[in-house]
Amino acid sequence: MHDLSIDLETLGTRPNAPIVAIGAVMFDRETGEIGDEFYAPIKLSSALQHGTVCPHSLKWWFTQSEKAQAVFISPDAMELRDALLELSTLIVRHSETIRPWGNGSTFDISILEHAYDVVGLEVPWLFWNVRDMRTIVDAAGAIGLDRDSIPFAGTEHNALDDARHQARVIAACWKELAASPPTVMSSTSLNSALVLKYCELTNRDPMGIQAVSSSEGWIESTFYQVAERELQAMFAAQAALALTSKT
């Protein structure tokens, strides 16, 4: 396995956020199979020694479930440096080419890399192998996968349960994207005049904006982009029909 789903619980959102727990699971992005797991709650004293609390995050924790808040009184809490060393050991045991996945391109991974730096340890992955779940969720969402359809198991905002869920979501997105049929015509190969004519015939301003809601918020597209997609779908349907009538 080369993929590692990482989730942090923190007292901030910037790279210098204090880390209160680290959850990580090895997984196979193509099959969704889960492998070795890692969970380390961090001693509050150690977390605060190595990071800066964000008041907004602290306030947020007061609104979370008792089960999630239990991380702050865990009897198994470790020093941050010891936890990072253990995580490195797990990673090195698997592969140098591990792909660490965080939720967002700048959250979990940036905070962990900063923490490794602060405690004087090497980051145990190659920077170009870093992956981001939000991007793949967006891409799979664009072709119809609703991430909320993937049930959550365990306690939300428990770093290990979150990391397991993240692995399941990534694998589901991977499957959806791998199964999607190839686009019949790329957006660049569509004739611009044709798209503009289509906008004219359908009474749309090509520069007009359409906003649609998704699980990640509102996605805006120009009517030009919408028209392009619709034309591609029409051509794809025509091609499929032509194929069916031949057989």
Give the footprint of Mg ion on this chain (CB under 5 A).
7, 157, 162
Residue among 81 and 157 whose Cβ is closer to Mg ion: 157
Q: Which amino acid is at 142?
A: A
Residue among 41 and 224 whose Cβ is closer to Mg ion: 41
Q: How far is the CB of 148 from Mg ion (least distance, A)?
A: 16
Residue among 94 and 157 whose Cβ is closer to Mg ion: 157
3-state SS record for the chain: CCEEEEEEEECCCCCCCCEEEEEEEEECCCCCCEEEEEEEEECHHHHHHCCCCCHHHHHHHHCCCHHHHHHHHCCCCECHHHHHHHHHHHHHHHCCCCEEEECCCCCHHHHHHHHHHHCCCCCCCCHHHCEEHHHHHHHHHHCCCCHHHCCCCCCCCCHHHHHHHHHHHHHHHHHHHHHCCCCCCCCCCCCHHHHHHHHHHCCCCCCCEEEEEECCEEEEEEHHHHHHHHHHHHHHHHHHHHHHHHC
- Residue for token digits 């499929």? 240
Residue among 43 and 164 whose Cβ is closer to Mg ion: 164
Q: How far is the CB of 124 from Mg ion (least distance, A)?
A: 20
Q: How far is CA 17 from CA 32, 46, 68, 246, in A?
A: 30, 12, 18, 61
Q: Please state, in angstroms and rounded to a whole number, the distance separating the CA atoms of residues 70 and 111.
A: 22
- CB-closest chain residue to Mg ion: 162
Q: How far is the CB of 42 from Mg ion (least distance, A)?
A: 14
Residue among 131 and 226 whose Cβ is closer to Mg ion: 131
Q: How far is the CB of 49 from Mg ion (least distance, A)?
A: 22
- Residue for token digits 């031949």? 246
Q: How far is the CB of 17 from Mg ion (least distance, A)?
A: 12
Residue among 61 and 235 whose Cβ is closer to Mg ion: 61
Residue among 3 and 162 whose Cβ is closer to Mg ion: 162
Q: How far is the CB of 175 from Mg ion (least distance, A)?
A: 23
Q: How far is the CB of 110 from Mg ion (least distance, A)?
A: 15
